[in-house]
Each structure stands twice: as C-alpha cells, then as structure tokens.
Amino acid sequence: MENTILDVRNLQVTFDTYGGSVKAVRGLDFSLRKGETLAIVGESGSGKSVTTKALMGLIPKPAGKIPKGEILFEGRDLAKLSDKQMQKIRGKEISMIFQDPMTSLNPTMKIGKQIMEGLILHQKLSQSHAKTRAIELLELVGIPEPKSRINQYPHQFSGGMRQRVVIAIALACNPKILIADEPTTALDVTIQAQILELMKDIQKKMDTSIIFITHDLGVVANVADRVAVMYAGKIVEIGTVDDVFYNPKHPYTWGLLGSMPTVDNKEEKLIAIPGTPPDLIHPPQGDAFAVRNEYVMQIDLEEEPPLFKVSDSHYAATWLLHEDAPEVEPPAAVKERMKGITSNHTSVREDYHS
C-alpha cells in the first residue's frame, strides 16, 4: 500500500540460552500506515517487547538473533543494517518511549541536556538552537515553566512529568514512527489518561505513526486504530478496534476481553485464561493456544492454523474459522464483558478520533 511506512514480514527472533534456543518471535507479519496507531497486545512473554526491540535494532547480541524475516522501513530492511547504520535511524526516524521513565533518564544530567543530545547529534543544531528547541518540546508536552525547568534533574519531577520529558526526548527529531512500550504502566490512572491524551494530540499535530505496546485493553479502546493480538511469538488476531472489540474471533482474544475489569460489573469475578503460555524453547506442534483452549479440536494439536480472513480488515488464526469447523460463539460472560468494555470506551475513543 502506498501509505505504508513499515512492513514486517516473517520476522523471527531467537535467544540462545543454556537451556536451548528460545523462539521469542515466530514469523511475525504486520504493517503500519502513516499517521496510524497500531496497538500490540498480549500476555507477558507473548513477544510484544521483543518485537519492538527488533524494530529498534536493540536485540542483545550475540545471544539474540534475527535468523529470518524483513523489517522494511520506507523500503530499507532494518534487519540487515549494522549497529552503526541503525544509530542514524534510531532516535531520528524511529523513536521509543520506555515503560519506566526513571530507567530512561540519566539521574545525573539535567533534562534539558538530555533532550538537546539528540537534536545536536541528529539535527546538527547548535547549542543555543538546541536549547530553544528543547524548551519548545517541553512546552509541547505540557511541562509548566519550561525555561526554568529545563535546568532541573529528573528527581525534581513527578512520575507523570518525567514521562512527559521522555516523550519530549522521543519527539525531539520529529520521528516518523514512535514506539511506546507500555508507557503508562508505572503511572496512576489519572496521569495515564493525561499521557494518552497528550500522545494522541501530538500525533495529530505531527502526523507520527505509533506502535503502542500494552496489556491494557482499555488503553487500546481509547487510542488505537488497529489492534494486533500476540500469543507465543505470533499474531493470532488483527483488525480494527471495532473488529477486535465487537467481533473477536480467536478464543485467546475472548480470554483477554473476559479478564478485563469494567465499571459496570463491579461484583463479577474476572474470567481467567487457564494454564500458562507454552515453552518457546520447544514450541508445540499445531496451535500454540490449543492446550488452554476449551474449544480445542484434534486439528489444533496437529496443524498450525493460518490467518483466516474475516473481512478486508480483520484476520484471525484459529481453526474455528474453517468452513468445516463447528459454529462457536464467545461465552455469554465474555459477551457481557465485551459490551461493558466497548460502552465504557466508545465515547472516549470518538473524542480522540474527532
């Protein structure tokens, strides 16, 4: 597609350990369009963060490897670039916001200098011009009195303000893609909402494409255009927010939605997904979710399902979509929870996208 800025094809990432080779990402395919927000969701260990590290060229070597696959960014395959070549892209064209701002910021360096570093390195600005731009960025992300606060250290900022500083650093060089790896997890609910609103506002102003990594489906409903659900190193369902929230097809997606608390069901117990994710040193034959799937069929234990087409925008990797499979719908409890989640977030999402 003409407006595709990133195209990931059959991406595989492995890590050598004493116990064997961990297949952390096992043939990932997705694209990102200009100005779009793609959310990648899934349990811990599903491969979300490993995927983003691969995109940024941050897979630790020599243990980490990309044995197969392409990461096409504006026609260039990032998987084949050297560390030196990636340094010219990382921070300038693709930036990342990490989960905990205190591990992203240097506690011994004033925040102004930390913002200016990228501007001087990538944009070749002078010290004075970089300082002026750093003040503008602090103002853009909502830091009050930026002219004076530019000379302060990270410990002098609250958690929410530190995350705003991290966002300012990520935006310093006007990146084309912004990767946000669970950027609101360490923040309280009120601050989370402010940061999400800030990111959406900045995206409108700068037309930046965003990859949003999260386990919080409430966040997805508010900010994303499309959703990719990951399990055991693969995408098992992908579609628009409406596709995934109103018409989910994969039993794993049903489980994620069922485990999501809603305001309307205060006394209802959360629905847990039984079992644990598979050992990716020895990935199972067939569907990796089969042993946790109450609708498992014999073919799930023998063959891995392809991504079946539900609509032009919606695909899911489950044998339940095969024409010969029995007709199965989400459990009633999950349906009720889906209604609660979507009703709680639809009006908010419409505000963001208006």
Peptide bond into 284 cis (omega under 30): no
Q: What count of Cα atoms within 13 Å lies in the side-chain half-sphere of residue 188?
A: 4
Predicted local confidence at residue 181, as pLDDT: 87
Instruction: Say yes or no to pLDDT of 70 above 80.
Output: yes
CA distance 349 to 311: 22
CA distance 149 to 91: 23
Instruction: State the first-to-last Cα distance of the chain, in angstroms, to the nearest integer.
Output: 25
Q: What is the pLDDT of residues 207-249, one digit of tens each?
A: 899 999 988 777 788 789 999 999 999 999 999 999 998 899 9
Q: Region 122-151: what's the mean pLDDT? A: 92
DSSP structure class, residue 171: H
- Residue percentage of the chain with pLDDT more than 90: 60
Domain boundaries, the chain: 101-172, 249-353
User: For residue 324, how many other CB atoms are within 10 A of its CB?
Assistant: 7
Instruction: Say yes or no to pLDDT of 344 above 60.
Output: no
pLDDT bin (cut points 50, 70, 90) of residue 140 is: confident
Instruction: Say yes or no to pLDDT of 58 above 80.
Output: yes
Q: Chain-wide mean pLDDT for the chain?
A: 88
The secondary element (H helix, E strand) that includes residue 6 is: strand 4-17
C-beta separation of 101 from 165 below 8 A = yes
In this predicted model, which residue has the larger pLDDT, 184 or 115?
115
pLDDT bin (cut points 50, 70, 90) of residue 348 is: very low
Predicted local confidence at residue 39, as pLDDT: 94
Q: Region 128-152: what's the mean pLDDT? A: 92
Instruction: Indicate whether this model's pTM tops 0.95.
Output: no
| Dihedral angle of Cα 189, 191, 195, 200, to the nearest 10 degrees | 60
Q: What is the pLDDT of residues 9-31, one digit of tens each?
A: 999 999 999 999 999 999 999 99
Q: What is the pLDDT of residues 284-306, one digit of tens each?
A: 999 999 999 999 999 999 999 99
C-beta separation of 78 from 86 below 8 A = yes
